[in-house]
Amino acid sequence: MKIRSILAYSALACGAAVTVMSAPPMAKAAVPIPSSTMVAQQPSLNLVGEGEGTLTIGTRPSQTVTFATVTTTNQQAEITLRLADGNLQRWNGQVISRSTEEAQIRLTNAGAADATGTFTIRYQGSTLISISGSGTLDGQPLSLRFTIADDSVSRPPVASPDIFAQAGQGTFGLQGRPNQIITFASVTVQPDDSAELTIRLANGNNIPFGGQQTRRTAEDIVLNLTSSGNADAQGPANIRYGPNNSIISISSNGTLDGQPFFIQFSGQTAAAQPSIQPAATPAAGTVVCTGRMQNGWQYRAEVTNRRFSQINWERSGAEPTVSTLRFDRNNAQGQPVYRGSFRAATQVALVDLSGGNPRQGSQISVGVEEWGWSRGNCR
């Protein structure tokens, strides 16, 4: 089984509901557990991964899990699973223990359903490794086994959503109701530009908005909001983001079922953001890495400040083209992974095998969807 993990620096912040939903409704606040089981306050976890696993509930047929997120804020935890049929299932819980590589989460509820049991979350840095555990859901036996692996150098890339999340403080206002405090926000943008903006209120409820990404730069995203659960919504949302897909601010106003609303949110500034590139001595001079795909396309990858910025493509009898690259993550081996597209239609990935210090004599691995992979040499 070849599985692929996605390094992301944030995760979904959606309401808890074990039932399948097209858009998550407002969630019920997690039922607290005695303070004696609490662990000392630690920085939030924002883990996300693509892999494969099995979810079993009662006598129902086992379901295949293809994607998972784990988000913790203080001792509160949310686990979201995407099933092979595209549907989502979510749980709330409490962090009862945590180390640098593992966290124990005690389940408390899944929407209106009671949940018990403990899930073990294994991770490395910000990379989700596995989720395993058992318990009950409304009295029915529950078990989950989900594993992440990374083979980004051995198979073509697959398009994945971009996820931005951040704790912070803000205000949600809806005409005719008192303003409410926002404590957390997340934005998920799918490869087709469909998007979801979710805000978590101080009372534990989540308010999701659906829409479409209409613009993206290196610093901000603009969404056109069209729905909120089963309600109609209209209006733009401007999201500024920073390192590690953190949210700097959100500003939005419009109508929700015909009533004016607004969102103003500022994300907390992390005390120390993890480096997305290993520290290294700058390479002397200009570095370019070249190679050839099996179908005849020759490539020339260019480096700027130890980062790969683009790939130039050439083939006899074909029009040259350029793929602009963006840094995606470091894989499990600490090698930077960049992503882009070939003529805006085919996914491209570049893995810097030098570990973040490309130089004369180092190598890269370039993968193109349906073309396979090729090893390139740097000079």
pLDDT at residue 111 in the model: 79
Res 13: pLDDT? 36
Higher-pLDDT residue of 371 and 17 is 371
Rounded to whole angstroms, what are the CA distances from 181 to 32, 39, 188, 231, 284? 20, 25, 21, 21, 51
Secondary structure of residue 36 in the 3-state scheme: helix
pLDDT of residue 159: 57
**Distance (Å, whole) CA 102 – CA 110:** 22
Are the beta carbons of 25 and 229 closer than 8 angstroms?
yes
Query: CB-hemisphere CA count at 13 Å for 35?
Result: 1
* Cα separation values, 194 from 26, 36, 197, 240, Å: 20, 43, 10, 18
Residue 181: how many other CB atoms lie within 10 Å: 12
Q: What is the pLDDT of residue 10?
A: 36
Contact 211, 27 (CB under 8 A): no
Q: Kindly write down the DSSP assignment for every residue of 86-108, as one continuous string.
A: S-EEEEEEEEEEE-SSEEEEEEE
Query: What count of residues does the chain have?
Result: 379
Mean pLDDT of the chain: 80
- Asked whether the predicted pLDDT for residue 61 surpasses 50, the reply is yes
- Whether residue 282 contacts residue 306, with contact meaning beta carbons closer than 8 Å, is answered with yes
Name the pLDDT band for 365 (thresholds 50, 70, 90).
very high
**What pLDDT is stored for residue 213 in this prediction?**
94
Place 149 in a pLDDT band, splitting at 50, 70 and 90: low
Q: Which range, of 28-32, 61-65, 67-71, 230-234, averages the lowest pLDDT?
A: 28-32
| pLDDT higher than 70, residue 137 | yes
Record the pTM: 0.36
299-337 pLDDT, tens digit per residue, is 999 887 788 889 999 998 888 888 888 888 888 788 899
* % of the chain beyond a pLDDT of 70: 81
Q: What is the pLDDT of residue 154?
A: 35
- Radius of gyration (C-alpha) of the chain in whole angstroms: 22
Digit-coded pLDDT (tens) for 175-186: 989 999 999 999
Q: 51 to each of 2, 125, 149, how far by Cα in Å?
A: 9, 17, 7
**Nearest to residue 288, comparing CAs of 215, 178, 379?**
379
- Does 34 score more than 80 pLDDT? no
- Tell me the two tokens of residue 138: 């409304």
Measuring CA to CA, how many Å separate 362 from each of 227, 356, 365? 49, 10, 11
In the predicted structure, residue 90 carries a pLDDT above the cut 70: yes
Task: Determine what percent of the chain is predicted with pLDDT higher than 90.
Answer: 40
pLDDT tens per residue across span 249-302: 999 999 999 999 999 999 886 333 333 333 333 334 578 999 999 999 999 998
